[in-house]
Amino acid sequence: MPTPLLFIAAVLIWGSTFLVITFQLGEVAPAVSVVYRFGIGAAILFAWCAVRRERLWVGWRRQPWLMLQGLLNFGLSYVCTYQAEGYLVSALVAVLFALMVFWNAVGARFCFGTRLTWATLCAAAVSICGVVLLFSASLAHVWQDRGDASGGTFAFGLFLAILATLSASTGNMVAVQVGRQHDNNVFVTTAWAMLWGMLSVSLWAVATGQPWRLPQTPVYWAAMLYLALFGSVVAFTAYFTLINRIGPGKAAYTGVLTPVVSVLLSMRFEGYRPGPTGFLGMALCLAGVVWAIRGKGSTPTASDGPERSTPADLNAATGDHA
């Protein structure tokens, strides 16, 4: 597939997944929906790797890192995302995930000693100011009506969305360690991490007594298949192919455009109306993300050839968080 089409596919798929999740809310417990999604996604990935004759097994000594990656990237992060979208419109959750550029930079500094530049810190300050503006009206309501139920649920949803981004970012740090230790194809390790994430959420659902039931509506299953096949497999394949063709620096711009698609879809289907302050906040947030990405002077380019991805390179992809 031509490179521009790969880029467009990744942006449109990940931009739409935040909205598609809302079609699964209410009929089945969020954790159970996550189990169904990644059970299907892991099966598809393993089957695809088998068709490509990849070596599927990863030794038990290496599995703990994959378990941890699965717990963070495909377990905690997704459960929090699904629950957060029960309280916030999908566009707001998508914009918060754009901040993973900065969470990853801080995590890489503490985990791997990667230099944290002033440009990155300044870009983070711009984006955080944008997020404050974006949520200013809702936060003001929470402050003025601290006893109001709607204000409390909004604050809880915001907390869950932020926790989801932090969990995904920490999972990206683990993914780097996995990449350093394993010779397996990245899709094989992703399949294993997805499987472990699904199992961890299954245990959580059983331990907390969440009801297990198969949904009956075609809309739910259409959304499920879209999220499992396109959101969890096709978009990742497109993104990793982009990294090899144009380099992770340019590929990371998918993370800038994904929230834009999410906002437009939310305005169309959820009636989201951010207003002038909200639009300014989104513009500042995304401008800071662009500044941070462009400021990476050591980011490899396509001419450097294929390579292992770093957390900062992959944060845009995990916007499939949705």
pLDDT digit string, tens, across residues 216-266:
899 999 999 999 999 988 888 888 788 768 766 677 788 788 888 998 999
Residues 268, 227: Cα–Cα separation, whole Å: 20
**Ramachandran sector of residue 292 (left: φ over 0; alpha: ψ -120 to 50; beta: rest):** alpha
Residue 304 has pLDDT above 60, yes or no: no
75 or 111: which leads in pLDDT: 75
30-44, 126-140, 175-189: least confidently modelled range = 175-189
Angle between helices 3-21 and 254-269 (to 10 degrees): 40
Work out the angle at residue 172's Cα, subtended by the Cα atoms of residues 25 and 279, and round it to the nearest 5 degrees: 55
**pLDDT band at 20, cuts 50/70/90?**
very high
Q: Taking a C-beta distance cutoff of 8 angstroms, is the pair 240, 186 a contact? A: yes
Helices within the chain (DSSP H only): 3-21, 30-51, 63-69, 77-84, 90-98, 100-112, 118-144, 149-181, 186-207, 218-225, 235-246, 248-251, 254-269, 275-294, 311-314
Residue range of the domain that includes 210: 3-320
Phi, psi of 247 (to 5 degrees): 90, 150
100 or 194: which leads in pLDDT: 194
Residue 146 has pLDDT above 80, yes or no: no
82-86, 92-96, 229-233, 237-241: least confidently modelled range = 237-241
188 or 149: which leads in pLDDT: 188
**pLDDT band at 300, cuts 50/70/90?**
very low
Residues 201, 37: Cα–Cα separation, whole Å: 11
Residue 28 DSSP code: B
Residue 137 has pLDDT above 90, yes or no: no
16-20, 21-25, 110-114, 285-289: least confidently modelled range = 110-114
pTM for the predicted model, two decimal places:
0.84
CB atoms within 10 A of CB 34: 31
**pLDDT band at 307, cuts 50/70/90?**
very low
Phi, psi of 25 (to 5 degrees): -80, 140
pLDDT of amino acid 83:
94
| Nearest alpha-carbon partner for 250 in 192, 193, 202, 296 | 296
Q: Taking a C-beta distance cutoff of 8 angstroms, is the pair 85, 25 a contact? A: yes
Q: Taking a C-beta distance cutoff of 8 angstroms, is the pair 322, 33 a contact? A: no
| Nearest alpha-carbon partner for 94 in 198, 153, 13 | 13
The gap from C-alpha 17 to its chain's centroid, in whole angstroms, comes to 10
**What does the DSSP assignment read for 83-150?**
HHTTTS-HHHHHHHHHTHHHHHHHHHHHHH-----HHHHHHHHHHHHHHHHHHHHHHHHHHHTTT-HH
Number of domains in the chain: 1
Residues 221, 28: Cα–Cα separation, whole Å: 11
